[in-house]
Amino acid sequence: MAITPDRQPFIQPINAAWYENKVTGVDMLRLDVIHKHVSGNKWFKLKYNIEHCILEGIDTVLTFGGAYSNHLAATAAMANFNGIRSIGVIKGKYAEHSLTSTLQFCTDNGMYLHFVTNETYSKKNDPDFLKELSDMFATPLIIPEGGANEMGIIGAGEIADLIPADYTHIAVSVGTGSTLSGIVNNTGNELWTIGYAPMKGGSYLGKEVSRLIRPEKRDAYRIYDDWHFGGFGRYTDELTMFMNNFYGQNGIPLDMVYTAKMMFGLKEQILRGDYPDEVRILCIHTGGLQGNQSIADKLIF
Ligand SMILES: *Cc1c(COP(=O)(O)O)cnc(C)c1O
C-alpha cells in the first residue's frame, strides 16, 4: 500500500489515582498514533479492503456513514492515498446543506458524497439497494457501514498481535463490534474483553456480536452501554472535563465519541469495585480523534 504508518503503536501505562490500590495496572495501547488521518482500528479494518481493490484492479470503493463517521473519514483518506475513488452514502439529506468537519474532510480527500434520507439509508444492507448503488457508481467495492465486513474483521484481528500475554482484561469501544470480535477471537481463552458501546441501548450488540465469536470465547466478553452520555455522538460537560483531566495527566487525547466514554466507564467500574485487585487491564485507544473538531472549543488539546 502507498500509505505507511506515521508511528508504530505502543503501550503506555495510565497515570491516574482512580485505579491505584484497586487493580494492578491500567495501560493503553495507542493505536491512535498510527496515522494522522487513518487512525486506530480503522487502519486495521480498511487495510485488506484497500489491498483487495489494488490486487483486483477495483478503482472505486463505496461505503456508508453519518455526518460524524470516523469510518468515512478514514476511508476517504486511505482511498485517496492509494489513488482509489471513494463514494460515501451519507445518512440524512439535511447533512448536505452544511457539511460537518468530518464530511468536509471527506470531500477534501476526493470522496463523492451521496446524501440519502434516513429511510433509504436504513436499506444499507439490502441486496436490491446495493445493486442499485453498484450500477449507479460503476461496480465499486462496497464496504458496509463501519468497515464491518470479513476483511475488516480479519484486519482487526491483527490488533491481537500487539497484546502481550500478561494482561487479564482488554477494554475496547464498540460500534459495529467487529474490532471487539477480531480481538476476542485472536486472543487466548483466559483473556476477558470488556466492550463499551457509546449509544443508548447498545448492549443489544452483545447478541449481534456473539455470532462472530468463536464458540469457546462466547462467554469471555461483555458489552456495557451505561456510559452513552445521552446517545451516540452526544456529550456532557462532565465528559469533556474528564477528557481534559485525562489529557493533563497522561498527554493522551481521547475522542469524544468512543474512547472517552470507555475510559469514563472503566473508571467508574474500577472505583465501585467491579474488578479484583490482581486484574491488569489493557485499554485499546481506537483513534477517531478527528471527531473532536466539533467540540474543539471545549478541549485543552
Ligand atoms: C469506529 C470506531 C470504533 C468502533 O469500531 P467497531 O469495529 O465498529 O466496533 C471504536 N472506536 C473508535 C475511535 C472508532 O472510530
- pTM of the full predicted structure? 0.96
Could you tell me if the CB of 259 is within 6 A of ligand 1?
A: yes
For ligand 1, the distance from its centroid to the CA atom of residue 84, given in whole angstroms, is 23
Distance 173 CA to ligand 1 centre (A): 6
- From 49, 70, 204, 213, the mutation candidate for ligand 1 (largest count of ligand atoms within 8 A of CB) is 70
By alpha-carbon position, which residue is closest to atom 12 of ligand 1? Answer: 286
| Alpha carbon distance 138, 59 (integer Å) | 9
Residue 286 in contact with ligand 1 by CB distance below 6 A = yes
Residue 3: which residues within 8 A CB-CB, separation 6 or more? 35, 38, 78, 81, 82
What is residue 3's predicted lDDT score, i.e. its pLDDT?
76
Cβ atoms of 159 and 31 closer than 8 Å: yes
pLDDT score at 205: 87
Q: What is the pLDDT of residue 2?
A: 63
Mean pLDDT by 10 residues, the chain (301 residues): 84 97 98 94 97 97 96 97 97 93 97 98 98 97 96 96 97 96 96 96 86 95 97 96 98 98 98 98 97 95 97
Cβ 181 under 6 angstroms from ligand 1:
no
> What pLDDT does residue 125 have?
97
State if residue 177 touches ligand 1 by the CB under 6 angstroms criterion: yes
Angle at 230 between CA 149 and CA 243, to 5 degrees: 85
- Structure confidence at residue 141 (pLDDT): 98
Return d(Cα 86, Cα 99) in angstroms, integer.
17
Say if ligand 1 is within 6 A of residue 255 CB. Answer: yes
Residue 61 to residue 79: CA distance in whole angstroms = 8
The DSSP output letter for 34 is S
Cα separations in angstroms, 56 against 141, 160, 171, 236: 10, 27, 36, 46
CB 147 near ligand 1, within 6 Å: no
Ligand 1, pocket-test mutation among 34, 37, 39, 41, most atoms within 8 A of CB? 41
CA 289, distance to chain mean position in Å, is 10
Q: How many CB atoms lie within 10 A of CB 275?
A: 21
Report how far ligand 1's centroid is from the alpha carbon of 21 (Å): 31
**Is 254:243 a contact under the CB 8 Å cutoff?**
yes
Q: Classify burial at 222, counting beta carbons within 10 Å of its beta carbon; exposed 0-12, middle 13-18, buried 19 or more.
A: exposed
What is the C-alpha separation between 40 and 168, in angstroms, rounded?
Answer: 22
User: What distance in angstroms lies between residue 146's CA and the mean position of ligand 1's atoms?
Assistant: 7
The Cα-based distances of 233 to 1, 65, 81, 226, 288 in angstroms read 32, 13, 28, 15, 12
Give the number of the atom of ligand 1 that is nearest the alpha carbon of residue 176. 8
Distance 287 CA to ligand 1 centre (A): 8
